[in-house]
Structure 1
């Protein structure tokens, strides 16, 4: 369950309230606030942009909670847009639970060809020239080592581990 604090841009609208609570009183909400936040994070990862770009944290919170503003999903594939927009519906009861989200993601994943799963070139965000990192760069090497470690058994008696691709975490739930 999500705590009662968080970062405004990613918090579900029902967590914002103009009603003052008495000392020790807590808001009542459920796991659907996490579905909302998941969708905002997923949108952010796909677009590589801050949600509610151009707004302060408070403006983003106000827009989401009181004007039902959400980031645009118009440029997403239809299946993925449906997942994201269903997770950030205004009424928490209309949002899917994570079992449903996983099923939607698996259906979406099954429609993607293997060539579409290859991640795009990684660019160096913090350098002024924005150069592509070569495979032998320290960051890339450490990522490749982690990936390779997940594909190799730890000892001769252990069974072969599955290859863990980009979407492996969706199969772990």
Structure 2
């Protein structure tokens, strides 16, 4: 997976997170996105154990991602642990001094993140066909990952990218893991709101945590929200919501077809064993997609109106 850093050009920053910045760039004539791991402003402040841990996490992400090949997974081109030979340009196209940081090179997708797409369409109602197509793309990508015994562990609209023809690809495998029956995962991982209750409460979890997160994403796509499944709670309140987190779910609007609402409900079942496998979700969505009456199913009559409120699951 090692690329030739001398053939990589890094340009403007297009996104930044807590642990990485993402830049537009080019590699051997191909337009790419470059994820550069951010340690801190002064790498000399890192202890050897901290630096080793970052390096280990970086290599783990690359090794999980590199052999994946699916139309709904962003393609990893390669990576390098040393950026000193890379040509960095600032916003005035002047070469700036590079720093020695590991970076990951991925295909560049023109459509941006699904979160940005939803934000740009806020207040509009996406056509049901688009909702189902988005959901199918995500479900097929996740089903593929699970068939390879890989758990994404941070499924959210920020980590879903759109192609120029509006197809979705899953990206960012920074916290992804191979599912190993001999290893028990119990640590809290992922993003609040999308995080499955068993992960939030630090209980044993498996690939079904991705299914829960998918259900939240599907709801978000349907109502054209912008990544705030719990809008009435502050981040601090969400982090300390305790047992109530396990019982809260987004409210499904009355306009939602019953068949699609059932997919959401099954995916965010409080019991992981009650959630379907992603390949089953694909089948359910395909059945809706092929039905001429997909948008004319029985609507909800047991829930109050409103897209941004929450209710306790029954």
Task: Report TM bin, short chain.
Answer: 0.5 to 0.7
Structure 1, unaligned stretches of length 5 or more?
A: 20-26, 117-173
- CA deviation string 1:100-155 (max 9, x = no partner): 10001001111247999xxxxxxxxxxxxxxxxxxxxxxxxxxxxxxxxxxxxxxx
Structure 1 Cα separation of the partners of residues 263 and 235 of structure 2? 24
**TM-score scaled to structure 2, two decimals?**
0.31
Q: In the alignment, which residue of structure 1 is the partner of 2:235? A: 57
Structure 1 Cα separation of the partners of residues 262 and 243 of structure 2? 18
Instruction: Kindly state the Cα deviation for residue 74 of structure 1 after the two structures are TM-superposed.
Output: 4.0
Structure 2 Cα separation of the partners of residues 11 and 69 of structure 1? 12
Contact 1:32–1:95, Cα closer than 8 Å, also in 2: yes
Does residue 274 of structure 2 align to residue 94 of structure 1?
yes
Structure 2, unaligned stretches of length 5 or more?
A: 1-150, 154-174, 176-187, 297-314
More strand by share: 2
Q: In the alignment, which residue of structure 1 is the partner of 2:289? A: 109
Structure 1 Cα separation of the partners of residues 207 and 244 of structure 2? 17
Note closer, same or farther for the CA distance 1:5–1:100 as it changes in structure 2 (3 Å cut): same
Q: In the alignment, which residue of structure 1 is the partner of 2:189? A: 5
Instruction: Kindly state the Cα deviation for residue 57 of structure 1 after the two structures are TM-superposed.
Output: 3.0
Instruction: Kindly state the Cα deviation for residue 60 of structure 1 after the two structures are TM-superposed.
Output: 3.9
Q: In the alignment, which residue of structure 2 is the partner of 1:37? A: 213
Contact 1:14–1:65, Cα closer than 8 Å, also in 2: no
Count of residue pairs brought into register by the alignment: 108
Q: Of the two structures, which has the highest relative contact order with CA contacts closer than 8 Å and spacing of 6 or more?
A: 1
Q: In the alignment, which residue of structure 2 is the partner of 1:16? A: 200
Contact 2:238–2:245, Cα closer than 8 Å, also in 1: no
Note closer, same or farther for the CA distance 1:104–1:41 as it changes in structure 2 (3 Å cut): same
Q: In the alignment, which residue of structure 2 is the partner of 1:150? A: none
Instruction: Kindly state the Cα deviation for residue 67 of structure 1 after the two structures are TM-superposed.
Output: 4.9
1:58-77 to 2 correspondences below 5 Å:
58-60=236-238, 62=241, 66-75=245-254, 76-77=256-257
Q: In the alignment, which residue of structure 1 is the partner of 2:204? A: 28
Instruction: Kindly state the Cα deviation for residue 16 of structure 1 after the two structures are TM-superposed.
Output: 1.7
Q: In the alignment, which residue of structure 1 is the partner of 2:170? A: none
